[in-house]
């Protein structure tokens, strides 16, 4: 809802998202993304690789190497990739509106749905060459466990309420060969096999994250705790803030308590 609201307030040719914990150390990043979109109209979403910064703790470096989709190296050429995610993406505003924007009902799994909408519109989803951000995992074992349990709750809700929107996640090296869905039983056994492999590799952070995620999914499917519909919007307030080199408009949305 926040992204859709923001897009509705602007008239720029392109719109993008950056998470509140995204780290950017390349001042040319958005110029590279814009140049790629302007040079190739077949690209529907332009994203950046995700690297591990030197400032990360030893725990964070290990966790991001063990857990899938937390690290994706800088690419020498622009590649179609499932690793384009909300921590950093840019796309034509017209295309965003054409595909109906973000899904406002899901609490987890927004990235795959947005990518699918863009591909269904006949556009590419690509990591742009020589671009990168950092999107650190929480610094602490139990913080990671809590995060993946929460993610599991969200995925359990999505699979219970909107099974048609639960999509596969690639490793990023798919080069356009995306497989959108696999049977639930296949995903279960794949997760179990991943646990076994991680045990042999002594990837204890990944094992804990997988177990926490499975526990969250199981809990939400067996003992639902989330409402079946999004909370109602009680009001929206806006304010413009000075002191920036760009126009900053802050929108605050008040939701009904569950």
Residue 132 CB contacts under 8 Å (≥ 6 apart), including other chains: 26, 29, 48, 49, 50, 51, 74
Q: Does the pLDDT at position 175 exceed 90?
A: no
Residue 186: pLDDT over 90: no
pLDDT > 70? residue 227: no
| pLDDT in the model for residue 257 | 78
Q: What ranges make up the beta strands (E) of 13-168?
A: 14-18, 22-23, 43-50, 79-80, 88-92, 124-135
Q: For residue 132, is pLDDT > 70?
A: yes
Band (228; pLDDT cuts 50, 70, 90): low
Report the percentage of the chain scoring pLDDT > 90.
62
pLDDT of residue 165: 87
Give me the chain's average pLDDT, please.
90
Q: Would you say residue 173 has pLDDT above 80?
A: no
In sign, the C-alpha dihedral spanning 202, 204, 210, 214 is positive
**Better-predicted residue by pLDDT, 29 or 229:** 29
Residue 141, pLDDT > 90, answer yes
- pLDDT of 195 higher than 90: no
In 3D space, the residue among 12, 25, 27 whose CA is nearest the CA of residue 247 turns out to be 12
% the chain with pLDDT above 70? 94
- For residue 252, the 8-state DSSP code is E
Kind of pairing between the strands at 124-135 and 43-50: parallel
- Using alpha carbons, select from 6, 35, 11, 232 the residue that is nearest to residue 101: 6
Residue of higher predicted confidence among 185 and 57: 57
The token duo for 92 is 């034509």
C-beta of residue 147 within 8 angstroms of C-beta of residue 67: no
Residue 96, pLDDT above cutoff 90: yes
Q: Take residue 178 and report the two structure tokens written for it.
A: 């995306």
Q: What is the pLDDT of residues 30-52, one digit of tens each?
A: 999 999 999 999 999 999 999 99
Return the higher-pLDDT residue of 170 and 77.
77
pLDDT exceeds 90 at position 229? no
Residue 73 has pLDDT above 90, yes or no: yes
- Per-residue pLDDT at 115 exceeds 80: yes
What pLDDT score does 83 carry?
94
């Amino acid at each position: 809802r926040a992204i859709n609201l923001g897009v509705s307030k602007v008239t720029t040719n392109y719109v993008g998202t950056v998470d509140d914990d995204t780290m950017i150390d390349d001042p040319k990043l958005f110029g590279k993304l814009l140049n790629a979109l302007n040079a190739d109209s077949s690209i529907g979403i332009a994203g950046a690789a995700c690297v591990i910064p030197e400032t990360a703790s030893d725990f964070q470096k290990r966790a991001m190497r063990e857990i899938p989709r937390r690290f994706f190296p800088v690419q020498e050429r622009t590649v179609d990739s499932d690793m384009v995610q909300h921590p950093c993406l840019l796309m034509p505003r017209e295309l965003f509106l054409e595909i109906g924007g973000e899904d406002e009902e899901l609490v987890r799994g927004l990235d795959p749905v947005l990518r699918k909408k863009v591909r269904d519109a006949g556009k590419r989803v690509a990591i742009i060459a020589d671009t990168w951000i950092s999107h650190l995992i929480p610094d602490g074992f139990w913080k990671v466990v809590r995060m993946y349990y929460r993610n599991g709750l969200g995925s359990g809700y999505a699979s219970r309420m909107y099974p048609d929107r639960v999509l596969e996640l690639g490793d990023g090296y798919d080069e356009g060969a995306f497989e959108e869905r696999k049977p639930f039983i296949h995903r279960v056994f794949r997760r179990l096999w991943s646990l076994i492999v991680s045990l042999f590799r002594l990837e204890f952070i990944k094992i804990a994250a997988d177990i926490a995620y499975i526990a969250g999914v199981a809990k939400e499917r067996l003992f639902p705790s989330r409402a079946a519909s999004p909370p109602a919007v009680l009001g929206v307030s806006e304010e413009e803030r000075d002191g920036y080199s760009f126009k900053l408009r802050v929108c605050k949305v008040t939701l009904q308590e569950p």
